[in-house]
Amino acid sequence: MDDQTNSTALLPTDRTIEPRRFPAKGEPIIHTVNWVGLATLYMKEVRRFFKVQTQTIWAPAITTLLFLVIFTLAMGRGDRMVLGVNFATFVAPGLIVMGMMQNAFANSSFSFLAGKVQGTIIDYLMPPLSEAELMAAMVGAAVTRALLVGLALTAAMLLWPGVDLSMAHPWAVVWFGLIGSVFLALLGLLSSIWAEKFDHNAAVTNFVIAPLSLLSGTFYVIDNLAPAFQAVSRVNPFFYVISGFRFGFLGESDIGDTNLAVLHSALGMTLVDLALAVLVYLVLRSGWKLKG
């Protein structure tokens, strides 16, 4: 009798099993930041440019170093003084941050464009990443490349006779280096969304990025320019990044007469980065030229 009771108790009860509910189309499954997906895309982008580091890191560093060599020799080595230092020391910080910004743009302006040209753009759009996470991974990889180029350039310029890269204000070096790299990374991402072929991207590089960077006070102080051209230079955001970055090394800048003017420039460029980030986010969210 007891055995019969025990065997009956072990029988499964008669319960209704509810069917498994799948989320509706478009309903998010991950309700927090997808850190795994963000880190994966970031590492993918970093490994992409690191596999060809000779082209993406060392070649730009050598090319920018040639500017230092040529202009230093043309200006008579250490005979010319600018902002209280020799010309090589004056121009070196500007070349470092210019190389960083140009390579940040080159990195972020390639991925989406290559995906559209090769038909692999779905690899960026299909993973469960929000527009903010997608943007953060792409910009983060571009900034990483910029930092590596900056370190390579710094190491090379330290070997050049007469260059002194001791830092007077380290905060300015870090701040302007980062906001400058983020600024160009966001511009590059926006350019890759807009461009439909590599010629479009090359046009932005050659007719916008290169002139703005070369005519931003990298090789001169804007006080030597006519008032009209000084006003034009002060509209150029590259001028504030390069002059602020140089201020971090030399303790002198042509932004203004006081350190407060440099701080205002840093805050202003930070606001420009934030506004540009919002614009890129809205463009990504709209799917313009990506999901058409």
d(CA 133, CA 36): 10
- Nearest Cα to 166, choosing from 176, 151, 154, 178? 154
> 57 and 148 in contact (C-beta within 8 Å)?
yes
Amino acid at the residue 148: L
DSSP 224: G
Number of domains present in the structure of the chain: 1
**Is residue 24 assigned to a domain?**
no
Mean predicted confidence (pLDDT) in 204-221:
89
Q: What is the pLDDT of residue 27?
A: 61
pLDDT band, residue 59 (cuts 50/70/90): very high
Q: What is the pLDDT of residue 1?
A: 47
Q: What is the pLDDT of residue 148?
A: 96
Checking if the pLDDT of 31 tops 90, the result is no
- pLDDT top residue among 139 and 258: 139
- pLDDT top residue among 14 and 90: 90
**Is residue 214 assigned to a domain?**
yes
Q: What is the pLDDT of residue 292?
A: 63
Checking if the pLDDT of 8 tops 60, the result is no
Q: Which residue has the tokens 């055995």?
A: 3
> 177 and 151 in contact (C-beta within 8 Å)?
no
Q: Which residue has the tokens 């007077």?
A: 168
**Is residue 158 assigned to a domain?**
yes
**Is residue 22 assigned to a domain?**
no
Q: What is the pLDDT of residue 132?
A: 94
Mean predicted confidence (pLDDT) in 132-137:
95
DSSP per-residue letters across 69-134: HHHHHHTTGGG-EETTEEHHHHHHHHHHHHHHHHHHHHHHTTHHHHHHHHT-THHHHSSS--HHHH
Mean predicted confidence (pLDDT) in 180-200:
94
Q: What is the CA radius of gyration of the chain?
A: 26
Domain that holds residue 176: 53-286
Helix or strand holding residue 279 (H, E): helix 259-286
Mean predicted confidence (pLDDT) in 93-105:
94
E-assigned strand segments in the chain: 81-82, 85-86
Q: What is the pLDDT of residue 22?
A: 60
Checking if the pLDDT of 11 tops 70, the result is no
Two tokens at 106?
Answer: 């080159």
pLDDT band, residue 3 (cuts 50/70/90): low
Q: What is the pLDDT of residue 68?
A: 87
**Is residue 46 assigned to a domain?**
no
pLDDT band, residue 241 (cuts 50/70/90): very high
The count of C-alpha atoms lying within 13 angstroms of the C-alpha of 232, restricted to the half-sphere facing its C-beta, is 10
Q: What is the pLDDT of residue 36?
A: 93
> 244 and 178 in contact (C-beta within 8 Å)?
no
Checking if the pLDDT of 62 tops 50, the result is yes
> 269 and 176 in contact (C-beta within 8 Å)?
yes
% pLDDT > 70, the chain? 87
DSSP 195: -
Average pLDDT, the chain: 87
State pLDDT tens for residues 109-124: 998 898 888 888 888 9
Mean predicted confidence (pLDDT) in 90-108:
94
**Is residue 147 assigned to a domain?**
yes
**Is residue 211 assigned to a domain?**
yes
Mean predicted confidence (pLDDT) in 13-24:
60
Q: How many other C-beta atoms can be found within 10 angstroms of the C-beta atom of residue 158?
A: 11
**Is residue 249 assigned to a domain?**
yes
